[in-house]
Chains A and B, each alone.
Chain A
Amino acid sequence: MEPSHHPKGALAFMLAFLALLALLWANAYLRLWGG
């Protein structure tokens, strides 16, 4: 079966990853003030 040229799964995982990254990074960043 010829896979699609547009890996929509990889795109979905990547966008989810970037969202998770933004969230966890912001959590750490805010601790500069909370600390």
Chain B
Amino acid sequence: MSKGSVYKAELMWILPSIALPVIMLGLLLWAAIGRGHDLPGVEGTLDPAQLAKTPPFDKPGTFPAGPNRYQVNMVAGIWSFTPNAVRVPAGSTVEFAVTSRDIVHGIIIKGTSANVMVVPGQVTRFSARFEKPGEYPFVCHEYCGVAHHIMFGKVIAEAKK
């Protein structure tokens, strides 16, 4: 077989090997920028020992923030989330701001694509939409000690009357 056709044969797999990841990267950018499924970024730092004096974590809870929009300010700590129950009407979009009062925790909200790390000294902001009525459990998914497995809460999306 001539050298030329050997190289052409290699192109048969090298070209798709490069094209496929390039297409994937394009789709990822579109999902992040075009459709808003982006990752957490830089949102400011704070002192984990001073949360009681640091807005918005001095008043954790769920607050209305516009039509069909809510703001949840949450503190994660060993071994609970505050608040651990979030009630919103079904169809709401909820913006979360979370920090830790002690060690590294994580949150994953079942039924959404919300999945973040919570690091003491840092603020994590993300949003999730709760379209269907029902319960959406959220659990800590980063090992945080001997009772890590009981650290959970739930978002309750209430059906409109």
Contact = CB atoms under 8 A, between A and B. Distances in A.
Interface string A15-28: 10010011001000
A2 to B, nearest CB: 11
B31 A29 contact: yes
Contacts of B31: 29, 32
A14 B111 CA distance: 35
A6 B16 contact: no
A31 B16 CA distance: 24
Interface in B1-21: 1, 5-6, 9, 12-13, 16-17, 20
A19 B89 CA distance: 42
Contacts, number: 33
B68 interface: no
B113 interface: yes
A18 B37 contact: no
B113 A6 contact: no
Contacts of B6: 5-6
Interface in B96-135: 111-113
Given A21-B20, A31-B113, 9 more contacts: A6-B9, A11-B9, A18-B16, A22-B20, A25-B24, A29-B24, A29-B27, A29-B28, A35-B111
Interface of B: 1, 5-6, 9, 12-13, 16-17, 20, 24, 27-28, 31, 37, 111-113
